[in-house]
């Protein structure tokens, strides 16, 4: 019941101001956000790499409102890629981006987001890594998939995300499960209406399994984005049945969630990538993490009360 309320609050400026100023917020945010700057995140990437984990880095931010902010987003990623190059971490870390941070919802936003993300994808390719386009709410997805297709003409390794809760996703998965494509499947983290998305959790899980099967049986590279132990073991079984080797798919989880399980899968020889978010505009990302698990909200409220 609480999830939809928190997701609605994640889009409220009033709540943003309240949560940002609340005592105890910083401590809870730090569980999910790896730091504020590139300098904060570099030692974390080095530590994850030393533990045999791969990384995807996300500079937090979304729904920006000015063209200048969209340029700043592009520049933040270019700065990050520059640092990864200096440190020789290019092959361990890829990037995840949200196109709404690159200007997608502004006037002429589709073209602006494409123009901003292209140099980021090109810089990533230069250091031997790649970029995955995150999936945001359903109204943004036609534009995201069109940008993904356009980028793949020059940078075929560019990945994208599909969300199991959307009715459209099985068709998207069939279209994307082609040779050379990289597709992350997740359950879906936004508040979506019943006209476009499954509302029942068990039904979302069933859709997730059907979509994983399409990806595993296809010719692309599936990236299983989930912390759900049941789905992880089904993924392993589907990969085995599809005759995939351990380096022909990967698991992905979020920084700060089920770290032991991340270590366990890596120790078993799986490619395990940790989605590591950093930056100052953490509000939307943080609220989605609270919505996913009510216990997080309880922890947050407790930490406010004890400050």
Considering only residues 76 to 95 of the shown chain, the ones binding ligand FDA according to CB under 6 A are none
| CB contact burial 168-199 (16+ within 10 A = b; e otherwise) | ebbebbeebbeeebbbbbbbbbbbbeeeebbe
Question: Does 253 contact ligand FDA by CB under 6 A?
Answer: yes
Question: Does 168 contact ligand FDA by CB under 6 A?
Answer: no
- CA distance readout (Å), 139 to 69, 121, 269: 21, 23, 38
Stretch that binds ligand FDA, among 63-71, 214-222, 234-242, 250-258 (CB under 6 A): 250-258
Among 226, 236, 262, 276, binds ligand FDA (CB under 6 A): 226
Question: Does 285 contact ligand FDA by CB under 6 A?
Answer: no
Question: Does 211 contact ligand FDA by CB under 6 A?
Answer: no
Of 226, 228, 227, 208, the C-alpha closest to 216 is 208
Structure tokens at 233: 């073991």
CB closer to ligand FDA, 105 vs 296:
296
Say whether 16 is catalytic: no
Q: List Cβ neighbours of 72 (8 Å cut-off, separation of 6 or more).
A: none
Helix pair 38-50, 67-87: axis angle to 10 deg: 40
DSSP states of 130-144? -EEEPP-SGGGHHHH
C-alpha to C-alpha distance for 250 and 11, rounded to whole angstroms? 32
Applying CB under 6 A, what is the total number of residues that bind ligand FDA?
A: 23
Say whether 184 is catalytic: yes
Q: Are 60 and 287 in contact (CB under 8 A)?
A: no
Question: Does 293 contact ligand FDA by CB under 6 A?
Answer: yes
CB closer to ligand FDA, 118 vs 136:
136
**In the complex, minimum distance from the CB of residue 153 to ligand FDA, in angstroms, rounded to a whole number:** 22
Question: Does 287 contact ligand FDA by CB under 6 A?
Answer: no
Question: Does 261 contact ligand FDA by CB under 6 A?
Answer: no
Which one of 58, 134, 137, 205 is the catalytic residue? 134
Active site residues: 134, 184
């Amino acid at each position: 019941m609480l999830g939809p309320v928190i997701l609605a609050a994640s889009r409220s400026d009033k709540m943003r101001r309240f949560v940002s100023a609340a005592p105890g917020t910083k401590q809870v945010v730090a569980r999910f956000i790896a730091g504020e700057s590139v300098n904060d995140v570099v030692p974390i990437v080095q530590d994850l790499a030393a533990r045999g984990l791969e990384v995807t880095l996300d500079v937090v931010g979304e729904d920006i409102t000015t063209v200048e902010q969209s340029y700043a987003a592009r520049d933040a990623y270019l700065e990050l890629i520059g640092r990864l190059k200096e440190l020789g971490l290019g092959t361990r870390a890829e990037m995840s981006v949200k196109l709404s941070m690159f200007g997608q919802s502004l006037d002429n936003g589709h073209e602006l987001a494409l123009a901003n993300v292209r140099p980021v994808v090109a810089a990533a390719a230069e250091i031997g890594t790649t970029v995955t386009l995150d999936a945001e709410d359903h109204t943004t997805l036609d534009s995201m998939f069109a940008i993904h297709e356009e980028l793949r003409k020059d940078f075929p390794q560019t990945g994208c995300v599909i969300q199991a809760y959307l009715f459209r996703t099985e068709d998207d998965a069939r279209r994307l499960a082609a040779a050379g494509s990289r597709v992350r499947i997740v359950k879906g983290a936004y508040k979506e209406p019943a006209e476009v998305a499954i509302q029942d959790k068990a039904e979302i899980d069933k859709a997730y399994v059907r979509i994983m099967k399409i990806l595993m049986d296809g010719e692309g590279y599936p990236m299983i984005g989930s912390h759900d132990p049941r789905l992880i073991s089904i993924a392993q079984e589907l990969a085995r049945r599809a005759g995939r080797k351990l380096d022909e798919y990967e698991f992905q989880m979020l920084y700060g969630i089920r770290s032991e399980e991340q270590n366990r899968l890596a120790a078993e020889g799986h490619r395990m990538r940790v989605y590591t978010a950093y930056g100052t505009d953490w509000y939307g990302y943080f609220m989605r993490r609270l919505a996913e698990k009510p216990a997080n909200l309880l922890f947050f409220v407790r930490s406010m009360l004890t400050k």
